[in-house]
Structure 1
């Protein structure tokens, strides 16, 4: 019997997250959540409770929505699934909301348990019970909705277990899920933050990524390169993970000795020195670090806002979230292929390298404001427990994910109009609690493009990315979104396969 307290905590966690994102700012949007939204929320809780990286999250959310979509498509008169096409379509008399809900729920349940097994008993089993379904129903009879959900999802999982992600850990001797199997080795040794004026900069390779060692709030960790193999993962609409590699290489990364390398570092120092409360809260809001839904899940929550705003049906959400997560999954593949290919330096390394021994003006740390410091002591506007993400810089995952997501939502709605917002109370900062912001600050996004662009520039405010990382990510993200939208439409209109 599910524990009512566990279910209450889960639902409250979802409610708090949506409120924090401004998703319930308009009482007119209040409505009963359909099963697609309920399973999307369950998957997002799985993300928050897991320790997987951004491209892994993008893939996981796509798999869940792919299972939902394929189970649903069998009960639609036109749409076709990604595995069986239209061969499992049920007759019109069976194309009922009850059958769609059941098929979707069994498909989603199989997916989330496979992807986030740690939340099976605390989140996923209680949701199945609340919906009135038996978690031990393993039917493979596709004339029934439970069997349909099981069969379509199991087919997708069978393919995805061999898609190059190493989800099962069976491609490496360590057996660690999602471990790199390509042999990536960092060119620079790990370092603490900041590097400091006494660091041996003569041995540093200034074009290349450097892992960091820091206390994460529980223990001291040294970063691996998360997702080094991700360019090999099977995409949705891309021809390959390297499809846009030549396009991306036209714009960066800047190399040491060039004016661009020096200018991009100086730009971030200037941003840091001038950081105001609004820019700080933009950096924090979009950070999406550990124990959050991460950038891919952030756009799922925006999708939930659109679902409520536009009074979506189950049919609408089965299609919209399929397209949205497919595009963001492909965005992760392209961004991480670029990261591995360029292996480019982060600001946390490049700025101390360039400016050690020189006096600069920059943010000095929590509650310190702008101070004079040796350039070797420069730090980004980030929590000390997660000073910079564990992978190379070029290109920005935030920018790529967000641009792709914005394209899908604007194409789905037929307009760039968004209208969501979030408000921060005085002193609500994570990095400078009690001080920042001094007064309430509202972030308002009239359009999806506004939200996407703010996500991109937030990484410059936070000292995580250079300008080229951001702008190139935005440009390629749009291309990815357009490509995914065209392919998704071919499934919706029954012309795929």
Structure 2
């Protein structure tokens, strides 16, 4: 396989696990989509506790997997992102260029392969800087090798290479979209203009620490805290997503959305 040195080392380790019979019960009993959902959830456990960030990750993963399935579906299924204009971002797609297998078994295999490559690319991108990134990268590499897929295959030319390239292509496009959706992903989701107006809450000390506006958000400052991934926190966690009112969410309708200006 044409892998870089880092992936080669991980691949050798993963192959050892496979040779030793390391396969999960879920891999034997559940769909490929379910298995990759589990990989995403485990990656979240290995990351910092960031509910808004991970809700977005789960949403984008769902879009990827659905579109990989719908691209090969012969019914009236319509893509959500692939070949559509989604939140102002256009994802080009030529359905005539994609070869559809002529048997149900072939279609299912193509869907599973596309899903796997799309999720592998997305999870690699989104969790490569998480505190336990090494564990996450090992997990998803094992998943690919169990499915006998080459993680070093990076082509996005789905007209020539079919399902693996389609998965890579959808992931590439959705990752690019993610840099435009208002989440400020390129700067690790940092706030661009929000400024905390009240002092931190100090649960270990009596009093309000000079609180003036009880309706304003306050950070919780602890002398000692361990994150969900087992990491010792050296900084007080900031406000997550204070400017995300216009970042598309899977469960929020426009009729339910109220955007408040600062001081409004």
Mapped to 1, the partners of 2:74 and 2:41 lie a distance apart of 30
The answer to whether the aligner puts 1:44 opposite 2:69 as a matched pair is no
Aligned pair partner of 1:91 in 100, 108, 128: 100
Deviation per residue, 1:273-314 (Å, 9 max, x gap): xxxxxxxxxxxxxxxxxxxxxxxxxxxxxxxxxxxxxxxxxx
The alpha carbon displacement at 1:160 in A equals 1.6
Matched-pair contact (CA < 8 Å) for 2:154–2:168: yes
Selected match of 1:166 from 179, 184, 199: 184
CA deviation profile, 1:142-170 (whole Å, cap 9, x unmatched): 2411111111221222112211111121x
| CA 66–7 in structure 1, closer or farther in 2 if over 3 Å, else same | farther
Q: Distance in 1 between matches of 2:168 and 2:111?
A: 13
- Unaligned 5+ segments in structure 1 are 16-29, 170-176, 247-336, 344-497
Alignment of structure 1 residues 387-406 onto 2, 5 Å: none
Q: Distance in 2 between matches of 1:160 and 1:132?
A: 29
Is residue 224 of structure 1 aligned with residue 250 of structure 2? no
The Cα of 1:141 is off from its aligned counterpart by 2.9
Partner of 1:55: 52
Partner secondary structure for residue 213 of structure 1: coil
The CA deviation at 1:209 is 2.0
Q: For residues 110-149 of structure 1, what are the structure 2 equivalents within 5 Å?
A: 110-117=121-128, 118-119=133-134, 121-143=137-159, 144-149=162-167
Q: Give 2:89's aligned residue.
A: none
Compute the displacement of 1:235 (Å). Answer: 4.0
TM-score, length basis structure 1: 0.40
Greater percentage in helix: 1
Partner of 2:29: 32
Shift of 1:91: 3.4
2:90 aligned partner: none
Larger Rg: 1 or 2? Answer: 1
| Greater fraction strand | 1
Please say if residues 200 and 209 of structure 2, whose CA atoms lie closer than 8 Å, have aligned partners that are also in contact. Answer: no
TM norm structure 2: 0.72
Q: What is the CA–CA distance in structure 2 between the aligned matches of 1:45 and 1:7, rounded to whole Å?
A: 23
Q: 2:229 maps to what in 1?
A: none
1:71–1:153 contact (8 Å) kept in structure 2: no
In 2: Cα distance, 1:45 partner to 1:237 partner: 22
Q: How many residues align?
A: 224
1:41 counterpart SS class: helix
Match of 1:80 among 78, 81, 90: 78
1:62 to partner: Cα distance:
1.4
User: Residues 129 and 5 from structure 1, CA distance in 2 versus in 1: closer, same or farther, beyond 3 angstroms?
Assistant: closer
Tell me the residue number matched to 1:186.
196
